[in-house]
Amino acid sequence: MSVDEQTKLFEAPVATGGVKRDRAYLVVLAGASVGEMYKIDGEVTIIGRGQKAQIRLYDDGISREHAQIMVEGNRIFLKDLGSTNGTYCNGLQVDKKELVDGDKILVGSTTILKFTYHDNLDEIFQRQMYESALRDGLTKAFNKKYFTDRLESEFTFSTRHGTPLALVLFDIDHFKKVNDTHGHQAGDHVLSEISTLLSSTLRAEDVFARCGGEEFGVICRGSDITQAQVVGERLRKAVESHRFEYSGTHIPVTISVGVAVLPNPAVKDANDVVLFADQALYKSKNAGRNRVTVHQPG
């Protein structure tokens, strides 16, 4: 993000004439989860990257319990929780500050949150905008742009903090044959059903995305080589054991899986992680498909 863009984000909020809307929200304006909305529920809402945080953000520089939002009667406050890099509101570092509609909050190196009030129609519209910007229209998995941006931020976090990171890539075996035999609508049905089936088997913090026509990826923060292989095998078995049907016709479906992990001394950037996972994927396909191959760090 350029300096000019950051300056615009921190411009003073526009007065709203004192009209308060139904619910308080934080909306991510910049960072790995851009567009996401978080409703402020309860008296205290913790922002951070740890397990106790109700709003979990994975930007570099965010502490496990970075800051909190406190509801005190009709007033809402932002409070820093002794974070390593500080909490900023409208460009100024704060310890505790009452929030007003339009305030911009910076946590970590790039995550900017907007505090705002939404009524029900606003919430529906905002969520639709978020879905259309970051999700694949057919499968509802995250799209390739989001996948690429998130992998970059996860790679930076992993290399800086020395924590594990896994990338699981898979594609559908003989997918062209599915389209040629059963038609493209059947192929679309298989893609959509695989996305629904597999996304339900993953952790909330895992990033599941459609990377290409029939290729998908899963970014698994904190997963080492053993855990990543377990994830890949779980996905493979889930597809193999599921009965795919379209217009009453059974369509046999399997997937081939490739896994790459950090730390790996041969990896210089996020593109290398994709390259190694892709090489492992093609080894699975060349070895007969419907299997998981793990790239072994050198």
- Name the pTM for this structure: 0.70
- Which residue's structure tokens are 């998130």? 150
Q: Which of 214, 233, 240, 245 is catalytic?
A: 214
Phi-psi region of 140 (alpha: psi -120 to 50; beta: other; left: phi over 0): left
pLDDT in tens, 251-296: 999 999 999 999 999 999 999 999 999 999 999 999 999 999 999 9
- Mean pLDDT score across all residues of the chain: 88
How do beta strands 165-172 and 207-210 pair? unpaired
C-alpha to C-alpha distance for 168 and 137, rounded to whole angstroms = 22
Taking residues 39-57, report their average pLDDT: 90
For residue 172, the model assigns a pLDDT of: 98
| pLDDT-derived band at 215, boundaries 50, 70, 90 | very high
Q: What is the pLDDT of residues 105-120, one digit of tens each?
A: 999 888 999 998 876 5
Mean of the pLDDT values across residues 39-59? 89
Q: What is the pLDDT of residue 46?
A: 96
Banded model confidence at residue 10, pLDDT cuts 50, 70, 90: very low
Give the residue from 108, 111, 90 showing the smallest Cα distance to 99: 90
Full 3-state SS string of 70-133: EEECCEEEEEECCCCCCEEECCEEECEEECCCCCEEEECCCEEEEEEEECHHHHHHHHHHHHHH
- Told to judge if 240 belongs to the known catalytic residues of this protein, a careful annotator would answer no
- What DSSP string runs through 54-80? SEE---TT--TT-EEEEEETTEEEEEE
- In angstroms, the CA 186 to CA 248 distance is 11
Lowest mean pLDDT among 46-50, 126-130, 137-141: 126-130
Q: What is the pLDDT of residues 150-186, one digit of tens each?
A: 899 889 889 988 999 999 999 999 999 999 999 999 9
